[in-house]
Amino acid sequence: MSDNSRAPAAAGDSGTRNLVTRAVTALVLAPLAIGIVYAGGWFWTVLVTAVSVGIFIEWLMIVGARDNLRVLGAGVGALAITGLCLGFERYDGALPFALLGLVVVGYLGGEQRRWTASGYFYAVAALLASVLVRADAEWGFAALMLVLLVVWAADIGGYFAGRTLGGPKLWPRVSPKKTWAGAIGGFVLGLCVASGFAVLGYGNWGPLLALAALLSVVSQLGDLFESAVKRQFGVKDSSQIIPGHGGLMDRLDGYVAAVVAAALFGVARGGIEGAGRGLMMW
């Protein structure tokens, strides 16, 4: 067998192993995440606070600022205090601390302040949005599950539709592997998720389909945004903390964008403590 024939076989074996690793990891982490979302309260707040800290650290690694201990300490401290305020439902304290952290991280970032501040803003927005959507006692669980399932559908549908159908690339300069077929496949599967919620009585068909369409598009844009940041700094993965998936940012880029959009929309309609109802009830 020639070297040229061995190369495709090796690539195929590697792709299969990576797919199996991704699937096993997802089968372990997804039920755990759903269980914590269901529990809500401090369980969910502690988890998303820890994840937001991890996202901030990975961002600093990507932009080459991980050795700036003052930025690291200020950002982690501000995220922890913000999470503590959210845990006690002191939203009036969480936002000022979040904004103070943004100012301090930007100030301490020096020549990299634009990137360090952007990373902190990305992490704290994910923290605030995740807690606010789930905080609605009546509709928070359903609303957050809708966000999660649409994001997962966009990822899964995009992966399999892209690999099966191929075709024109979506944005090759930023993400060479993503195709229009994958984007459409993820979008359609997201609409199927919304249809399932409607069948089960969690809202009306029209608004749920519109919401799922918005979240699916925003999720895929969030994925492209993270790819653009990594490409700017010549980084492939944000870390290797999740087997088969890379880092927290690699796994949660679509979720961060979608949950922030969902929180803004839900709070605008239902208020700080009614974001879930604002998303689900029309």
- What is the per-residue DSSP string for the chain? --HHHHHHHHHHHHHHHHHHHHHHHHHHHHHHHHHHHHH-HHHHHHHHHHHHHHHHHHHHHHHT-TT-HHHHHHHHHHHHHHHHHHHTT-HHHHHHHHHHHHHHHHHHTGGGHHHHHHHHHHHHHHHHHHHHHHH-TTTHHHHHHHHHHHHHHHHHHHHHHHHHH--SEEETTTEEEEEHHHHHHHHHHHHHHHHHHHHTTSS-HHHHHHHHHHHHHHHHHHHHHHHHHHHHTT-S-S-S-BTTTBSHHHHHHHHHHHHHHHHHHHHHHH-GGGHHHHHH--
Per-residue pLDDT tens digits for 144-179? 999 999 999 999 998 888 888 878 888 888 888 889
| pLDDT confidence of residue 5 | 46
Per-residue pLDDT tens digits for 100-118? 999 999 999 988 999 999 9
pTM for this model (two decimals): 0.90
Confidence of residue 265 (pLDDT cuts 50, 70, 90): very high
Given a cut of 60, whether residue 132 has pLDDT beyond it is yes
| pLDDT confidence of residue 15 | 56
Per-residue pLDDT tens digits for 211-228? 999 999 999 999 999 999
Confidence of residue 7 (pLDDT cuts 50, 70, 90): very low
| pLDDT confidence of residue 238 | 74
Q: In terms of pLDDT, which residue wins out, 130 or 242?
A: 130
| pLDDT confidence of residue 41 | 95
Per-residue pLDDT tens digits for 28-77? 888 999 999 999 999 999 999 999 999 999 999 999 998 999 999 999 99
Mean pLDDT of 117-139: 97
